[in-house]
Amino acid sequence: MTKTIQTVGVCGAAGTMGAGIAIVAARAGFRTIAFDKSPEGLSRAAQNTAAFFDKSVQRGKMDTRMRDQILARLSATSEIDALSDCDLVIEAVFEDIGVKKQLLAELDAVCSPETIFASNTSTLSITEIASGSTRPERVVGMHFCLPAQLMKLVEMTPGILTDPGVFATAWNWTEQSGQRPVRTQDKPGFILNALLVPFNNDAIRAVEAGVASADDIDRAIKVALGYKMGPLELIDLIGLDTQIRLCEAFYPTTLDPRASAPPLLRRMVAAGLLGRKSGRGFFEYENSAMFGA
């Protein structure tokens, strides 16, 4: 039987996505443990998280007492053993099947048999990721949208061996956290990235072909189609290096040429132009503070 979820662990919490998921969990009232192997990365994430909630106070969305309560529920660690008491562990590490499977094996060794493991993968098979665990029936897909602390949608995906009760518990937790889940099949890219990865690559190729500037391409998409964020702005937020990893995970499973990484994307990453986190991608940024802070 799956117990009630009270404590949530987030792996890869130094990254933009992991930090955002930790905010979602702590803000919803859950004790939240942010785990990452990089102490320096965790320190930066903690500063950005505090700035995010400070801005929420300034905008009148919460008072200082609520902010302090949320931050008090959130702790950070570089020791995986600290996740031993978690009822739910959400991984948001690199989009690499080997890395994710190895993490699940490490979590197996420290977490309770009742712990639910959720993967934030946006392109990889939940069933294949779950094969890294000795308890694949307790693994679910839980793909948050970036930035997780602002976007409500979560793609929920069962693997072939996922226990229906485990999936239902994870679904309920998602709703309790103020998110809006949708159920998807264990297919490459699920709903969003099956559409977005090729589309975003098309925008990059349009820049590379000289069709228009990055600014004009994004403006056209936002004004004509009603998008709140243009594709190139979104890639800057995701990280150009992350976009490459998405392509490398998605293309081999689909063989869709539009899903392959455009040459311009690879050149920009080689030059260190990673988007918001480096201060420059398709656009320039004054700082790399958490989106929405």
pLDDT, average across residues 224-234 = 95
Percent residues over pLDDT 70 in the chain: 97
Residue-wise pLDDT tens digits, 256-273: 999 999 999 999 999 999
- What average pLDDT does range 152-180 have in this prediction? 97
The alpha helices in 28-85, defined as continuous H runs, are 39-58, 64-72
Residue 186: pLDDT over 70: yes
**pLDDT above 70: residue 106:** yes
Question: Is 143 one of the annotated active-site residues of the chain?
Answer: yes
Q: Is 117 exposed, middle or buried (0-12, 13-18, 19+ CB in 10 A)?
A: buried
Measured N-to-C along each axis, helices 39-58 and 64-72 cross at an angle, to the nearest 10 degrees, of 160
pLDDT at 252 over 80: yes
Residue 1 pLDDT class (50, 70, 90 cuts): very low
Domain ranges in the chain are 7-183, 193-278
**Has 286 been annotated as catalytic?**
no
Architecture of the 193-278 domain: Orthogonal Bundle (1.10)
Mean predicted confidence (pLDDT) in 160-181: 97
CB 95, CB 68: distance < 8 Å: no
Share of the chain above pLDDT 90, in %: 88
Predicted pLDDT of residue 288: 60
pLDDT at position 286: 86
Tell me the C-alpha distance between 273 and 267, whole Å. Answer: 9
User: Of 88-92, 146-150, 192-196, which has the strongest mean pLDDT?
Assistant: 88-92
User: Which one has a higher pLDDT value, 293 or 65?
Assistant: 65
The rounded distance, in Å, linking the Cα atoms of 34 and 18 is 8
Q: Is the pTM of this model over 0.85?
A: yes
Told to judge if 208 belongs to the known catalytic residues of this protein, a careful annotator would answer: no
pLDDT of residue 88: 98
The active-site residue out of 125, 177, 193, 200 is 193
Selection from 190, 38, 180 nearest residue 119 by Cα: 190
For 255, phi and psi rounded to 5 degrees?
A: 55, 25
User: What average pLDDT does the segment 124-151 reach?
Assistant: 95
Active site residue 155: yes
Where on the phi/psi map is residue 84: left (φ > 0), alpha (ψ -120 to 50), or beta? Answer: alpha
Provide the mean pLDDT of the chain: 94
**Which has more confidence, 254 or 143?**
143
Catalytic residue among 56, 120, 122, 133: 122
Burial 133-162 (b: 16+ CB within 10 A, else e): bebbbbbbbbbbbbbbbebeebbbbbbeeb
Catalytic residue among 91, 95, 155, 233: 155
> Is pLDDT of 129 > 50?
yes
Third-level CATH fold of 7-183: Rossmann fold (3.40.50)
pLDDT greater than 90 at residue 130: yes
- Active-site residue identified among 143, 177, 200, 260: 143
